[in-house]
Chains A and B, each alone.
Chain A
Amino acid sequence: MPHASSMEGENRSSAPRGGFGRSWSILYKYGLLIALVALAAVFSLLRPDTFPTLANAGSILTGSAALAMIAIGVTLPLIVQQFDLAAGFMATFASLIVIGLLSFNQAPVWLAILAALAVSAVVGLVNGVLVAYAKLNSLVVTLAAGSLLFGTSEIYSGGATIYQNVPKAFLAVGQLRVAGIPLPFVYVIVVALIAWYILEYRPIGRYMYAIGGGEEGARLVGIKVDRLVVLVFVASSFMAGLGGVVQSARVGSANPSVLQSMLLPAFTAAFLGATSIRPGQYNIWGTVIAVYLVGLGTTGLFMLGASSYTEPVFDGAVLLVAIVLAKLSARGRSRS
């Protein structure tokens, strides 16, 4: 088989030889993208007036932007076999900080954003140190951190939505369009490009996949595993914070209960993403495509008249399918 030696070292699995096997593996690799297009086509046929419109496309791209950031965030710890369950609460907390500083303290926009992101990074640092150096289980650490963030969010906001006195300059961050493309989607693409570049083209990215492949082995080849794990948690938390900031700029408000529900969909996207592009491994483009697949799916279902409770059902079902597919694709990798 002539290897796809063109781009970076993708197409990890040693695919079965021959024309049929090859087209099968390509189908597998881009399966998620194909599913996305197919789903769009189905909804377009069923709702030709409302679904395939620029406005709807724009709203799906913007609506899922915060989720995409959080999902890219949680993908990073997953690559090194760790979990960041605090991501959803982190996004919530960051959105409250940025809106709170603008609304209560009339802080300059840049300062409010910077503060929210800095707090996110610090939370990630604490999580990372507890996991990497205190050798605590990341599930427990980030669950606790999430609970702390949740409680703090409630206290800070008094349990209410903050929306007063949010300056226009901040709303512009989340609502402007560049060449017709909504800014939040531009952020997603930029963030995804950076994450992808680092994972694929920098030694540090290789080291992350190596840690995921075996921490002991990574240590034995001289990788500074603990330091890198801390960095990964900082990055994950930072992304979640970014998601919170983008979301609050988009809607012009923040409340303590919206973003935290994005944790499960974020993991769904990461698991689903791992079945595609680099089948069997968590990867950024897989995650991003999966986010939009889920976003498009829920929007389409709404348009078909499903109730808002359909969304968690849809998310849960997709998550189950995702982990089954991930298992199968991992098995496919080790066979052949």
Chain B
Amino acid sequence: MIDQKPIALAVTGATKRFGSALALDDVSLSVAQGSICALLGANGSGKSTLIRALAGYHLLDAGAVQIHGEELNVHRLAEQGRAAGLRFVHQDLALIPDLSIMDNLALERGYVRDGSGTIQWRREEERVRRELASVGVEASPSERVAHLGPVDRTLVAIARALDRLDGNRNILVLDEPTARLPQSEAAKLIARLVALKERGLPIVYVTHRLDEVYKLADAVTVLRDGRAAFSGPLSTLSSDDLHKLITGVAVRMNPRLAAAAKSAVGKAVLEVMDVSSQRLTNVTLTVQRGEVVGVTGLIGSGRSELGRIVYGLQSRTGGEVRISGKPIDLALASRRIGYIPQDRRAGLFPALSVEENITITAAERLNQWFGLSPKRVRDAALKVIRAFQIRPADPLSSVGILSGGNQQKVALGKWLQLPLDLIILDEPTQAIDIGTKQDLMTTIKERARAEGLAVLWLESDIEELVKYADRILVMNAGRTSAEFSQQPFSLQEVLAEAYRMNDDPGEAKGGAAHAARIEHGG
């Protein structure tokens, strides 16, 4: 449209409904041959839905998709998209670390074999060497993927996805490839991607990092609440414009909580003093009695790691953590600290019953001289089931069959039944419907108000924080970069701070690849 080059991929009027929610509303996007279109948007804006729809995971309710000018059947995007050259590289790359690069590539397209079916290793190796050279990887084809750096791994995944690098029939969709990379590595990857683009490859590039957009993208599509807030060339936009496009959402505040939101002045329950670790640099924060402190930041900012350090799951290289004045080990032994990990399933026992899941934290308290009374255990479980309205309200059904929202109620309930000093929540309302979300956060707020529970809440959904937190800290590349304590919070300001460009490449700490394993988000 705007470009001289032919359009490789054009999506028009894409619409997708989940129940009553409109996940995509008349979204259009296009990528020209040899250009990169950045796909931007906050969490829940519809980026993932759009990508998944293109890959054929979700069926679009309406819309059209054209590749190289040919109209595809939107009901058969999985096969037709693939046949037309559409390729996806997802965040987890789906490589097998213990196999060589050659084997990993062959998983996708098979080995070079002779008439009898025997693998021609010599020719296979030559072919892989060529493929690696074309994406800019210098490693030997027989190198194990585990030995590669994160950038090379991503490039290997790209080489595997593309079938003919010279033919330019492919269109590559990259889902946040730099999310888990430190800044310096990200810059290397971006340089490689630009080189691929210049050789003609069209790329749809999903990202959270605005600074990257200006380094590689030609066009940009910004999604907000399922709509395309903007779709067109990047050159017309300033970074301020992009901020506004991404974050232009009205602030909504729960009136009940707004009334209750009175800054509780209590003694400090959690004190994080000058803590450093693999990804954190001199983080200092406190959470008072009865206070809900939200910590946000992009993926890779270190917020999840902060939670793991406070709960003693990960070691720190410097600084001190005190809970109720006690050093962390002693505090954890007192069992007055709860933790809900980001990966909900890691915090639950899916094969065990609701009752077993709820009472596992309370077994010590429920125990009597003769052991656990089944009636006491059952009563404790029923109390939580009732308080949290867990459905089905059956203490014996296994947790694995519960909906995501109900699983999270079990996870919260098992902690909140105890007299806690502090609870650490890592994305507690992720993938939960709005009603349940509100119930859970209201429960937590009330608990904080009534009993002085301190809450450290790590969250990527800033809109949620703005609604329920007493104080919001923003993290950027392992440091706390801003604090908001004046209510009502401005969603725009917090978002802008979280998306603030970070042009200091020395900042990011190394070793991101493994540290970030469970640090996924939006």
CA distance A8 to B348 in the complex (A): 22
Are A217 and B347 in contact, CB atoms less than 8 angstroms apart? yes
Name B378-398 residues within 8 Å CB distance of A. Answer: 378, 392, 394-398
Are A9 and B374 in contact, CB atoms less than 8 angstroms apart? yes
Name B158-216 residues within 8 Å CB distance of A. Answer: none
Across-interface contacts of A12 in B (CB, < 8 A): 353, 396, 398
> When A9-B396, A220-B339, A334-B401 are in contact, do A202 and B348 touch as well, CB less than 8 Å?
no
Q: Determine if A18 is an interface residue (Cβ-Cβ < 8 Å).
A: no
In angstroms, how far is the closest chain B Cβ from the Cβ of A282? 12
Name A261-286 residues within 8 Å CB distance of B. Answer: 280
Contact partner, A217, options B349, B378, B396, B401, Cβ 8 Å: B349
Stretch at the interface among A70-78, A98-106, A148-156, A205-213: A205-213
Across-interface contacts of A221 in B (CB, < 8 A): 347, 360-361, 414
Q: Determine if A13 is an interface residue (Cβ-Cβ < 8 Å).
A: yes
In angstroms, how far is the closest chain B Cβ from the Cβ of A99? 37
> When A7-B374, A202-B367 are in contact, do A333 and B360 touch as well, CB less than 8 Å?
no
Q: Determine if B253 is an interface residue (Cβ-Cβ < 8 Å).
A: no
In angstroms, how far is the closest chain A Cβ from the Cβ of B231? 42
Interface residue range, chain A: 20 to 34
Q: Determine if B350 is an interface residue (Cβ-Cβ < 8 Å).
A: yes
Are A203 and B372 in contact, CB atoms less than 8 angstroms apart? yes
Contact partner, A9, options B341, B356, B370, B400, Cβ 8 Å: B356
Q: Determine if B377 is an interface residue (Cβ-Cβ < 8 Å).
A: yes
Are B394 and A210 in contact, CB atoms less than 8 angstroms apart? no
Are B335 and A206 in contact, CB atoms less than 8 angstroms apart? no
Contact partner, A14, options B363, B375, B397, Cβ 8 Å: B397
Across-interface contacts of B398 in A (CB, < 8 A): 12-14, 333-334
Are B397 and A336 in contact, CB atoms less than 8 angstroms apart? yes
CA distance A203 to B366 in the complex (A): 9
CA distance A209 to B398 in the complex (A): 13
CA distance A33 to B71 in the complex (A): 64
Are B372 and A206 in contact, CB atoms less than 8 angstroms apart? yes
In angstroms, how far is the closest chain A Cβ from the Cβ of B239? 40
Are B371 and A9 in contact, CB atoms less than 8 angstroms apart? no
Contact partner, A209, options B352, B367, B377, Cβ 8 Å: B352
Are A14 and B335 in contact, CB atoms less than 8 angstroms apart? no
In angstroms, how far is the closest chain A Cβ from the Cβ of B363? 4
Across-interface contacts of A5 in B (CB, < 8 A): 374-375, 378
CA distance A265 to B363 in the complex (A): 34
Across-interface contacts of B396 in A (CB, < 8 A): 3, 9, 11-14
Q: Determine if B482 is an interface residue (Cβ-Cβ < 8 Å).
A: no
Across-interface contacts of B335 in A (CB, < 8 A): 222
Across-interface contacts of B401 in A (CB, < 8 A): 14, 334-336
In angstroms, how far is the closest chain B Cβ from the Cβ of A223? 8
> When A206-B360, A334-B351 are in contact, do A8 and B374 touch as well, CB less than 8 Å?
yes
Interface string of B333-358 (1 = CB under 8 A from A): 00100010100011111111101100
17 A-B pairs, CB-CB below 8 angstroms? A9-B395, A9-B396, A13-B398, A200-B372, A201-B371, A202-B371, A203-B364, A203-B372, A206-B360, A206-B363, A210-B352, A210-B356, A210-B360, A219-B313, A220-B347, A221-B347, A333-B351
Chain B residues proximal to chain A, CB less than 8 Å: 311, 313, 332, 335, 339, 341, 345-353, 355-356, 359-361, 363-364, 366-367, 370-372, 374-375, 377-378, 392, 394-398, 400-401, 414
Query: Can you list the 9 inter-chain pairs with the closest CB atoms, starting with the nearest?
Result: A213-B349, A201-B371, A14-B397, A203-B363, A8-B374, A213-B352, A206-B363, A216-B346, A201-B372
Contacts A220-B346, A223-B360 known; list 15 others, CB within 8 Å: A3-B394, A8-B374, A9-B377, A9-B395, A14-B396, A14-B397, A201-B371, A210-B349, A213-B349, A213-B356, A214-B346, A220-B347, A334-B398, A334-B400, A334-B401
